[in-house]
Structure formats: structure tokens, C-alpha cells
Amino acid sequence: MHNDQLIQSALNEVEECSSVECLEAKRVKFFGKNGLITKELKSLSKLPLEQKKELGEKLNKFKNQFFLIVENKKSIIESKEINLKLARDFLDSSLPARENNYFEAKIHPINQTINEIVSILGSMGLTFEEGPDIEDDFHNFSALNIPEDHPARQMHDTFYLKSTKTDSYVLRTHTSPVQIRALKKMQIPLGIFAPGRTYRCDSDITHTPMFHQVEGLVVDKDINFANLKWFVEKFCKIFFNKKDLKLRFRPSYFPFTEPSAEVDINYSYSSGKIILGKGSKWMEILGCGMVHPEVFKMSGVDSSVTGFAFGMGIERLSMLKYGMPDLRDFFEGDLKWLEHYGFSFFEETDLSWR
């Protein structure tokens, strides 16, 4: 009778449980090491054989029943808890996104301008080349006919880097060293362009310590200045999308070209906007000329060939085309400026989708 009561109360107690913790507590209470039923099972050995057999069977049967109930209840409770959690954490994917948090990423005008230049020069038959930002003295100066004592070295406001015993290094002051690299590794005839970063220790309204240039080099048996003039004019007309663009070729001097010229573009300002091909203002956009025979010699190229080269300022081209008034803003990292002057990744400007 005592055992029947015990069994009944165990059944009642597990039945009342509504949590996994409660079930565990009941298991310990009845079947743990010192559990009430465990104790009964342990004392079986003291009973006479007949009773031992009867009670043993009963208790063991109950043990199986008890654990079955506990397991069942446990899985019911757990699935209830999961459902509750799912209901609580329900994500309503139809809710609108938070307002004012939306900033469309833009392409920086420099990247946009480089992309345009790459596609125009590529269509004009030149191939892409590049050289390192950290350049050695030979490629940046000596091979370009600028020996150590040459006054042109002062023109360049160079950032010098630590030198080794055999070499001295600089941050390249122009993209012209890529001319040397191309001449050394490529076959003539060749036509290449090389956009990239350039550095000069100079900072004011029209200069930043880091800026971008694109170099062009065309070499063949009989390239002449007329070819250069045609090429530059053609490029500018396509780039600015303007047939009646006014360019001015001004005689100039570069140690690595002879003859040399600088090219200015005609523009005017009208109510804060840049108008090309009109007015009295001129902006210098590039330096160019016929490759100096010394450059061919320094690059190991047979000097029976001729070639033209040019180096354009990418920021200048971008400012004239897209109307930014101040060069320094390009590198301020101001998101408002980028939002205004930057370019969309997508053709459509309307990105709303709700």
C-alpha cells in the first residue's frame, strides 16, 4: 500500500509539471541517487523472495512508465517553448525600411573620369599599362633625360624616400616613368596609356600633394607632331563631348620631349557654371611632345623610331567637365560633396522600389 501511494504521488507530481526544470526535479526526487523510489528498489533485497519478485516487477514497470511520461512531457514542453519564441521573434519582412538611413553609394568623380578616359583611349587603339607609385630614381628622372644636377629636378617638388646603397626611391612625380617601363619591355610599334596616382610636395588652391595623371605613348617608324596634335584634339573632343572645343598648343619645355608643348583648354565661368569653348579663360590640362632621342637610348630602343607622348592631369579634366570649383575638395572625403558630384552605379537615378 505504501508503494502504491508513492507511485500515485509520483504520477500526480509529474503530471502537474509544466517546465523542463520541474520534470528534472521530479526525476531526482523519485529516481535520483537518493530518490524515494530508488530507496525502495534498494531495500528490495531485504524482502522475502515472493514479495521481492512482486514488488520488484511493479517498481521496475513503474520506472519505465515514469521515464516515458517524463520524456513525452519534456518534448511537448520544448516544442511549446519553440513555438512561443517563434511567435515572439516573428520578422515582418513587409515592414518598410527605416527612413533617413539611406545613402546611395556614389562613384568618386576621379574614378568616373578615369573610367571614361580608359574607354576612350582604349577605343583609340592604346593599351593599358601601369607602373609603381614608389618609383626609383632611374625611371622617374634619369631615364627621362633628367640627370641629377638638372634644374628640372627642382621643378618637381619630389617626395624622397629612404635610399638603399645602390638605389634611391621617390613617390613618382608624374606617370612618365611608365613610358620607360613600356619601352623596355614592349615591341615597337607600341601605343599605351597609363593612368595613376602621382605625388608632389605642393599644396595650394590648384595643387594637392597627391593627384592623378594619365600618360600616353605612341611609338612607330614615322610618328610626327601632326599625329600628336590630331590625337590630343580627338581625345579632348570625345572626352568633353564637344566638336567646337577650343584648344591652345603652347610651346613648352620638358627634358624628355623635343619639341614640347602644353595644351590649354578655353573656358569661361557663367553664374557658377563652366562653359567650354567660350570666353577668355584658359586651363592647362596636359603636357606633351615628341619623345626625346635620349629617352629611346636610355630604354634600349633603336632611335630610328619616333614617337609622341603626353601626360594629362585627371583632376583638371574632371573639373572642366563636371564643374567642381575647387581641386582640394576631391580629397576631403566630404560625403555631401560626393553625394552632389559623385556618379550613380546604376543607369536610373530613381532607386525607389516601394
At closest approach, how far in Å is the CB of 124 from ligand PHE?
A: 17
Are 239 and 263 spatial neighbours (Cβ–Cβ below 8 Å)? no
Q: What kind and span of H or E run contains 112?
A: helix 109-123
Q: Is residue 176 close enough to count as binding ligand PHE by CB under 6 A?
A: yes
* Cβ-based nearer residue to ligand PHE, 296 or 341: 296
Cell of 91: 520578422
Q: Is residue 223 close enough to count as binding ligand PHE by CB under 6 A?
A: no
Counting residues that bind ligand PHE (by CB under 6 A) gives 11
* Cβ-based nearer residue to ligand PHE, 199 or 341: 199
Q: Is residue 267 close enough to count as binding ligand PHE by CB under 6 A?
A: no
For residue 218, give the 3-state DSSP assignment: strand
Name the residue with the smallest CB distance to ligand PHE. Answer: 311
Q: Is residue 112 close enough to count as binding ligand PHE by CB under 6 A?
A: no
Q: Is residue 254 close enough to count as binding ligand PHE by CB under 6 A?
A: yes
At closest approach, how far in Å is the CB of 135 from ligand PHE?
A: 12
Cβ-based burial of 21 (10 A; exposed 0-12, middle 13-18, buried ≥19): exposed
* Cβ-based nearer residue to ligand PHE, 109 or 255: 255
| Full 3-state SS string of 297-316 | HHCCCCCCCEEEEEEEEHHH
Q: Is residue 191 close enough to count as binding ligand PHE by CB under 6 A?
A: no
Q: Is residue 287 close enough to count as binding ligand PHE by CB under 6 A?
A: yes
Q: Which of 208, 257, 306, 318 binds ligand PHE (CB under 6 A)?
A: 257
Listed in sequence order, the residues at least 6 apart from 62 whose beta carbon sits closer than 8 Å to its beta carbon are 7, 10, 37
Q: Is residue 235 close enough to count as binding ligand PHE by CB under 6 A?
A: no
Choose the stretch contacting ligand PHE; rule: CB under 6 A; options: 54-62, 97-105, 233-241, 282-290. Answer: 282-290
Q: Which of 62, 193, 239, 310 binds ligand PHE (CB under 6 A)?
A: 310
**Strand ranges, E, within the chain:** 127-128, 134-136, 169-171, 190-199, 210-220, 247-254, 257-270, 273-276, 281-291, 306-313
Q: Which residues of 144-161 are buried (b: 16+ CB within 10 A; e: fewer)?
A: bbbeeeeeebeebebbee
Give the residues lining the site for ligand PHE (CB under 6 A).
174, 176, 254, 257, 260, 287-289, 309-311
